[in-house]
Amino acid sequence: MNNKISKVFPDSIAEEMEIEVGDKLLSINSTEVKDIIDYKFLMAEEYVEIEIEKQDGEVWALEIEKDYDEDLGVEFENPVLDEAKSCCNKCVFCFIDQLPKGMRETLYFKDDDSRLSFLQGNFVTLTNMKDEDIDRIIRYRISPINVSVHTTNPELRVKMLNNRFAGNIYERLQKLAEASIELNCQIVLCQGLNDGGELIKTIEDLYKLYPSIQNVAVVPVGATQFRHGLYNITMFDKESSRRELNSVKALQERYINEIESPFVRLSDEFYVLAEMDVPSDDFYGDFEQLEDGIGMIRILRSTIDETLGNLNNNICGSFTIATGSSGYKELSKVAEKINNANSKIKVNVVKIINKFFGETITVAGLLTGKDIIEQLSKEQLGDYIIIPRNMLRSGEEIFLDDVLVTDLEKSLNRKVIICDYTGEDLVDLINEFGKEE
């Protein structure tokens, strides 16, 4: 357990009570605080008694009256307070098992912790949870929970996760759904395992638990060049991607008629591989599955069309966008629209081939700083380099291979601009860094 306080927010209850960085939270209402879920649940009262251990070992007992949803106003050294639960599976498609040696240690940690699902949106398999852990989720109303399902076929799930305890997923989902816990589900699709008829059955099973299960995301398996000695994975291509998209289409149309939502969506990568156009805006709802690579193309198109009129016609400048193979064609179309809207702005897009993980990995989020530096150094660069935020570690300006954004800037002698998913952000950044004539 690590309840040490790392930050006290200004004008908070904690600041008023003279709680300081380095103090430890021991208990709330005489209950030991084991993790962040305890903390959130126990603090949801209008009157609380807390124990704080000061840095000199003195223990303070504090009585606090507050609003029901008011927090102490602190952050902890460890966001879950104790050690995160690691994954006990050995999935046949696990990306971490395909990493080469010598990368930063945190990349090799396989988290499978429902608390991180609640706090950070991580997906969990539920396989390392005891029945009392499921009961705790229900008692504390921990929601939403993001669950990696992959298949509802018990025998197949045991095989895919290489875990003899993995077969009871549907029973657990049913129990959570009956308690009205909100769930988002993910399926990593593997040819010859959970695709085709198995995928259809899994989707149909999950739909029975709607509306507790809000949506299902289907993403293609990724295989790096470091899969030595691992399960033989067949990558999706044009034909197989089209097959999966078409097989799910009838279900999506039925669900739209029944609940005004397709319920299940396949990632943009399937459409790119299949050389098929992505669906309309309405299909993606509120774009809540962007982190799974679902709807990124559509939201980029929509927002660039909506905000292109905001492009400043009195500025000039040149920009180089670095992206992966999957996003290259789409971003090239965006660059053309911007260039046509203001002829004094020059935007070019460079496709970065993933030499580090292998050319089968085509998404921008898995590109390394070294590959970007090496390949951009051979290009005629603009005044600025633009990269998508998903290339970087969350909350930090560092690539998967520990190359920093500042390293990129030094190596290429260019300012690097970090951009979000949308065309709106791209136009705003060009307006900000373009030069007034």
| Residue written as token pair 């084991």 | 34
* Cβ atoms of 4 and 55 closer than 8 Å: no
CB 319 within 8 A of CB 347: yes
Contact between 107 and 400 (Cβ < 8 Å)? yes
What percent of the chain clears pLDDT 90, i.e. is strictly above it? 65
Share of the chain above pLDDT 70, in %: 92
Distance CA 145, CA 72 (A): 24
- Bond before 79 cis per omega within 30 degrees: no
What's the pLDDT score for residue 58?
Answer: 93
Where are the domains positioned within the chain?
A: 5-76, 96-294, 301-436
Produce one character per residue of 17-32: b if its CB has 16 or more CB atoms within 10 Å, e if not.
bebeeebbbbbbeeee
User: For the ranges 103-112, 267-276, 297-306, 327-336, which has the lowest average pLDDT?
Assistant: 103-112
Taking CA 31 as the corner, what is the angle to CA 28 and CA 36, rounded to the nearest 5 degrees?
65
Question: Would the pLDDT of 84 be above 70?
Answer: no
Q: Is the pLDDT of residue 41 over 90?
A: no
Q: What's the pTM?
A: 0.80
Per-residue pLDDT reduced to its tens digit, 316-366 = 999 999 999 999 999 999 999 999 999 999 999 999 999 998 998 899 988
Does domain 5-76 match CATH 1.10.3720.10? no
The more confident residue out of 331 and 86 is 331
pLDDT digits (tens, 9 = 90+) for 114-138: 444 444 446 788 887 788 888 888 8
pLDDT band, very low/low/confident/very high, at 43 (cuts 50, 70, 90): confident
- pLDDT score at 39: 81
At residue 142, the pLDDT reads 79
Cα-based angle 146, 151, 153 (whole degrees, multiple of 5): 135
pLDDT digits over 411-436, tens only?
999 999 999 878 899 999 999 999 98
Given 3.40.50.1100, 3.40.190.100, 3.80.30.10, 3.40.50.150, which CATH number is that of 96-294? 3.80.30.10
Determine the pLDDT at residue 113: 45
- CA–CA distances in Å: residue 41 to residues 23, 76, 157: 21, 16, 33
What integer pLDDT is reported at residue 125 of this predicted model? 85
Which CATH class name applies to 301-436?
alpha beta
CB atoms within 10 A of CB 75: 13
Is 96-294's fold the same as 301-436's? no
Residue 347 CB partners (closer than 8 Å, separation 6+): 318, 319, 320, 321, 334, 335, 338, 339, 382, 430
Q: Return the pLDDT at 123.
A: 73
Average pLDDT in the chain: 89
